[in-house]
Amino acid sequence: MVFDLDACAENGLPFRDDSFDMILASHVLEHIKNPLPLLQELHRVARPDAKAVFAVPYGANDDAFEDPTHVRQYFLNSFGYFSQPFYWRADYGYRGDWQPEQIILAISAEQYTGELAEDIMADIMTLRNVVLEMTVELRAVKPAREAKLELQQAPEIRYRFV
């Protein structure tokens, strides 16, 4: 099947509601100009509590910018915007609700094995090229939650040494 993932706002995905238990996308999202319609459509076709796993280049890594087909960068809090509670400030018209459950950051084993988690995070937040890749595990929340700050839930952050 061939489908333009950038066209989800105009043409919904060709699947029935509640069709999938698992969605995997490796190095796809960074190529999508407007990811909200895609994530909303994925939410529609996902069953309640379905899992979605997205691997993307980390935004503070030079690889996220070098590929001229990359149109968007992702950071630790980016995937929160695919959940309804993040829209407590403003309604962008997005109706999907994906709860970020876990973020796995691939980092250099040579440089960071034996380091404290908080020291690694300090480097991630202040230096470039620490994270080689970010994998995010999301859970489809159905029915969607309200857009309320107090409903936001932080994902677990883990490190994968490579």
Domain count, the chain: 1
Half-sphere exposure of 22 (CA within 13 A, CB side): 2
Distance between CA atoms of 82 and 40, rounded to whole angstroms? 8
CATH number for position 83: 3.40.50.150
Is the residue at 60 inside a domain?
yes
Q: What is the SS3 assignment for 35? A: helix
Only one residue has tokens 């018209």, namely 93
The pLDDT of residue 53: 99
**Mean pLDDT, each 10-residue run in order, the chain (162 residues):** 92 97 98 97 98 98 93 96 93 94 98 97 98 98 96 97 98
Is 92 within a domain? yes
Q: Does residue 101 fall inside a structural domain? A: yes
User: Is 10 among the domain residues?
Assistant: no
pLDDT, residue 1, reads 79
- Of 25, 15, 92, give the one whose Cα is nearest residue 47: 15
How much is the pLDDT for 92? 87
Q: Which residue range is the domain that position 41 belongs to?
A: 16-161
What is the reported pLDDT for 2? 87
Residue 19's pLDDT is 98
